[in-house]
Structure 1
Amino acid sequence: MSELIDNLLFLARHEGPIEGAALSQRMSIQELLISLCEYGKAQSFQKKRQFIYDIPSVKTVVKADSQLLRRAFTNLLDNAFKYTKKHGIVELCLQVQSHSVLIQVKDDGTGIPEVDLPKIFERFYRIDAARSRHTGGFGLGLSITQQIIHAHSGEITVVSTVGKGSTFQVRLPIS
């Protein structure tokens, strides 16, 4: 219940575009992702999944609100762990490109039906009722994640195959 209230408060506070000075703070994307690797290791142990990460050590600076980005990537990791079966694999990867960084959260879980892909970023959207009862959640995490990524002049995409898993890709500009 507290998660639902927290998400609803976030959406209420950020009804329109997210703005603020914190969005232009210079930060190392590697430092943020390495701290999320600790979270991923704990989740993998608790949920009996494998967690693999590939974060290059070369410091890359982006302009961002670190708390908001942490929330976005935590949402993606939580979903990956939630929809991956026991002993499945969740990956977090960073690729540094010429003008942007590409962060991928991959899993070999249940996947998302193609018909649902255009709707998964909508508020309160759930793929099916049985899945909702089994895994919990309220259909707000991906909507919030997309809003945060767009506020950072980034983009989020997903590729998914039912029974084989999903790959969420976030591209953020390098400052």
Structure 2
Amino acid sequence: MLTHHWVELDPTAAEHHPLYGIAGWLPWVLAMVIAGPTWVFWQGLSVDALQMAGADLFNANTPGSGAVNLTTMLYLISSVTVLVLATTHDSAFRLATLAHMTLLPPLIGLMLMAGGMPDARATLIDGAAVAVSLLLTCGVYLQVSRRVHITFERRDWAPGEHAWFKRNRSGHAST
């Protein structure tokens, strides 16, 4: 049975660990975490929605402009926050990324529904589907990835944890 007993690492030791940094599968996971909500965002802000909001999106009297502007701001703030936390190796990265990929896609649909945008219900359904698929793929990776824990939270498996998994040069399990 896989149980994870994480121990804190010294920041210097974590930085010198071979799994420290954004490499391996992590760049692909980051790309998917940003691409999923981006797809929902662009689906929600279709040509019909932008035409309904009118040419002057910043005029508060234009129908739908507030929903479009609020959705755009929320999308940009959330996406930039995830990328900044990733590049600065901040300890809040994992939690912020999980929130970004599970809450933002359906929230885009909800905000557009509240603004009366056409096809907002379809955007809400697409957003929920994207959120579930991201959670089942990228979310699982973020929870169990040793690289993520070492890079962002400076934690690693306890000594002796998963000894059956570690192999020496001759191919036999090390003790």
Flag whether TM exceeds 0.5 (same fold). no
Larger helix proportion, structure 1 or 2? Answer: 2
Larger strand proportion, structure 1 or 2? Answer: 1
Indicate the structure (1 or 2) with the bigger Cα radius of gyration. 2
TM-score with structure 1 setting the length: 0.32
